[in-house]
Amino acid sequence: MNRPSTDELINLIEQEIPKERVLRNLADRYSYSYDASFGEYLPDLVVQALTKEEVSFIIKLANEHRIPVYPRGSATSLSGGSLAVNGGIMLDMSQFEKKLMIDQENLLAIASASVITSEIHEAAENVGLFYPPDPSSSHVSTIGGNILENSSGPKGLKYGTTKEYVIGLEVVTPTGEIIRTGGKTVKNVTGYDLTRLIVGSEGTLGVVTEAIIRLIPKPEDRKTLLASFDSLINSGKAITNILASGILPSAMELMDNACIVAVENYIPSGLPIEAEAIIIIEVDGHKSAIQEEIDKCAEVCERFNATSVKVAKNELEREQIWKSRRMVSPAITQIGPTKISEDATVPRSKIPEMMEKLSEIREKYKLNLVVFGHAGDGNLHPNILTDKRNIEEMKRVEEAVSEIFEAAIELGGTLSGEHGIGTLKAPYMSLELGEDGLMMMQKIKEAWDPNNILNPGKIFPQEGQTKVVLI
């Protein structure tokens, strides 16, 4: 079948959707050609849908004419999630009509896809409830994007990822039908669990228009400590031993020496620049329980030769500790303008081994490679700082990235702990899943989306693709 020309397509779309929301000039198309990863693909046009009916209309049209459609939230994806790799229609969901309702009685939030995640945090807290998934992009990213990437942050350790909280969805399928999955009950065992299938599917199985989200009571209080170590191995041991001692902290974050130095150069905050690693531990829950727990965490850190352990005495000190953690990302971009941020994840007992592996990779390829991350759940963020204009170095980066993934999988881990596969990790899927495992996933995709129009080029490798190509 012949694809209609862009002009023909625009005429068809404008029968249902007002002109102002069908963007076709070059500046607009370039403005929707990127996300927070890198890679630049020009869509043929951008459509800003406001209602599920409009989404359904676009998808039906696209399916009929075999035109690729890429759903897009705030484009903070770090894995190339919404990039228009085959041209076609960028479906901007950020302007979708906003709806956010808190159902206090049932401990639920009902949110349309365009709601910004931090708005849910705020609305829940206003009534003493809590929505735990906390990606650091929460003030920018949409709940739709979070659901499709199955996002999480430091709190993932204790509270799990987005999928633990989504119990129902309204979805427009790749053939344009509007369906509901799950519902308002926490228990639901009717048939296949399509909700879970769609969460984390990176916009390849349907466009989410609304979600029913489980909330939990807000923990009463929290306590935070910062411990420094002059041996990475010891910091790793401290982490596993705290978890083995029966405490489940709400967060356990790790920064290596390069990150510490970068933060201190960026905004001096009194971090020990000679330390090989620091960890931040937070516990939350009942007031009397958390005092005991934080004491115990401190004790374990000391047992593993922490050079210093500091428990925050008040909110200000707590905020200072977290600020240094939040500064890591911006601080390290001072090392080089191009930041390749990975999120390879290993079983937590393997963290020290993974750290060693990463330091070998750094030496071998002579790259600025720094590591921080959510150590409590094994979700590390190796980051390579470079300049994409330096072609020779970028080639070394490609090799290094491949080795990082291989190392994670060898240690029994996974390609992605929270950023998704997108375009960047697609070539490595069979490494983790095996050919048959990958094929089962592909069959699901084919069943849902027989014409492969919804977010093509993501998750699954293209013909013959075996490794990431950055430039």
Partner 1 sequence: MKTDDIDTKYSEKLYELSYDAANMCVQCGYCLPVCPTYLTMGNEAQSPRGRINLVKMAAEGKIDIINDLKEPMDLCLGCRACEVACPVNVPYGDIYGAALNVIAEKEKATKSPPTMSDKLLQTMLKNLFPKKNRLRTAGSFLWFYQSTGLSKITQNTKIVEMVSKPMGQFERALPKVESPTKRYKFGEHYKAVGERKMIVAFFPGCIMDAVMSKINRQSIELLQKCGIEVVIPQNITCCGALHSHQGEVDATKKLAKQNIEAFEELGVTYLINNAGGCGAMLHEYDKLLADEPEWKNRANKFVDRSRDITEVLAEIDDIPYEKEWQGVITYQDSCHLRNVQGVVDPPRKLLKSVPGATFVEMKNSHLCCASGGIYNLLNFEESMEILDEKMLHAIKTEASTIVTTNPGCLLQMRLGIERSGVKNNMQGLHLIEVIAEACGIN
Ligand X SMILES: Cc1cc2nc3c(=O)[nH]c(=O)nc-3n(C[C@H](O)[C@H](O)[C@H](O)COP(=O)(O)OP(=O)(O)OC[C@H]3O[C@@H](n4cnc5c(N)ncnc54)[C@H](O)[C@@H]3O)c2cc1C
Instruction: Return the residues of window 119-138 that contact ligand X according to CB under 6 A.
Output: 135-137
39: left (phi over 0), alpha (psi -120 to 50) or beta: left
Alpha-carbon span 349 to 245, nearest angstrom:
14
Minimum CB distance to partner 1, residue 58 (Å): 17
Can you read off the two tokens belonging to residue 428?
A: 């490595």
Minimum CB distance to ligand X, residue 155 (Å): 10
User: Total binding residues for ligand X by CB under 6 A?
Assistant: 36
CB neighbourhood size of 157 (10 A): 24
Q: 147, 199 in Cβ contact below 8 A? A: yes
- Give the CA angle between residues 387, 469, 379 to the nearest 5°: 80
Q: What is the DSSP string of 362-384?
A: HHHHT-EEEEEEEGGGTEEEEEE
Of 139, 184, 286, 467, the residue at the interface with partner 1 (CB under 8 A) is 139
> What, of ligand X, partner 1, none, does residue 152 touch, CB below 5 to 8 Å by kind?
ligand X
Answer yes or no whether residue 150 interacts with partner 1 by CB under 8 A. no
Alpha-carbon span 195 to 331, nearest angstrom:
38
Q: Which of 206, 217, 210, 208 is CA-nearest to residue 100? A: 210
Binding segment toward partner 1, per CB under 8 A, in 170-178, 208-216, 289-297, 331-339 = 331-339
Answer yes or no whether residue 73 interacts with ligand X by CB under 6 A. yes
| One-letter amino acid for residue 66 of the chain | R
Answer yes or no whether residue 149 interacts with ligand X by CB under 6 A. yes
CB neighbourhood size of 198 (10 A): 27
172-191 in b/e form (b: 16+ CB < 10 A) is bbbbbebeebbeeeeeeeee
CB neighbourhood size of 350 (10 A): 20
> What, of partner 1, ligand X, none, does residue 111 touch, CB below 5 to 8 Å by kind?
none
Of 146, 228, 234, 383, the residue at the interface with ligand X (CB under 6 A) is 146
Q: Is 415 helix (H, G, I), strand (E, B) or coil?
A: coil
Binding segment toward partner 1, per CB under 8 A, in 92-100, 149-157, 274-282, 299-307 = 92-100
Minimum CB distance to partner 1, residue 388 (Å): 9
Minimum CB distance to partner 1, residue 300 (Å): 33
Answer yes or no whether residue 30 interacts with partner 1 by CB under 8 A. yes
Binding site for partner 1 (CB under 8 A): 23, 25-28, 30-32, 34-36, 38, 48, 74-76, 92, 94-95, 116, 137, 139-141, 329-330, 333-334, 337, 339
Binding site for ligand X (CB under 6 A): 35-36, 70-78, 81-82, 93, 113, 135-137, 141-142, 144-146, 148-149, 151-153, 202-203, 207-208, 329, 418-419, 455
